[in-house]
């Protein structure tokens, strides 16, 4: 995830920006804090997602990797569609307990 963020003293007064763009991380966080969803933010600034497919889908099962430090910050470490693990706010997800046979079948399918 951090490969998408850069800090360059010559760009936006050295503030953290989306790599290759003059969109500050601070600005993106303000949009999110003002109630915009991640999708709405990317819809406003699609250049932020060029080369990065939207990673999460609704109503889909995702593998969570235990991470006590992330949990302490209200986050989950999730393996997304890219096959990489990233931190997401835990409120993005609902924990689902599957019957053992179903869980085995799902794990065998991936």
Instruction: Examine the pLDDT at 6 and tell me if it is beyond 80.
Output: yes
Q: Considering the entire predicted model, what is its pTM?
A: 0.48
The Cα angle at residue 76 between residues 8 and 54, in degrees rounded to 5: 60
- Quick one: which of 91, 80, 31 has its CA closest to 54? 80
The string of pLDDT tens digits covering residues 75-104 is 888 887 667 777 778 888 888 888 999 988
Looking at residue 68, its pLDDT comes to 93
In angstroms, the CA 88 to CA 26 distance is 17
Instruction: Examine the pLDDT at 14 and tell me if it is beyond 60.
Output: yes
The domains located in the chain, with CATH, are: 2-49 (1.10.10.10), 63-109 (no CATH)
Looking at residue 81, its pLDDT comes to 67
């Amino acid at each position: 995830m951090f490969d998408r963020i850069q800090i360059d003293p010559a760009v936006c007064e050295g503030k953290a920006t989306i790599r290759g763009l003059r969109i500050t991380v601070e600005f993106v966080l303000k949009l999110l804090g003002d109630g915009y969803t991640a999708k709405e933010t990317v819809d406003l600034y699609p250049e932020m997602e060029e080369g990065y497919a939207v990673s999460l889908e609704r109503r889909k099962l995702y593998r969570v990797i235990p991470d006590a430090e992330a949990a302490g910050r209200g986050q989950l470490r999730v393996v997304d569609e890219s096959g990489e693990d990233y931190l997401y706010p835990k409120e993005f997800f609902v924990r689902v307990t599957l019957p053992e046979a179903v869980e085995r079948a799902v794990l065998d399918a991936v």
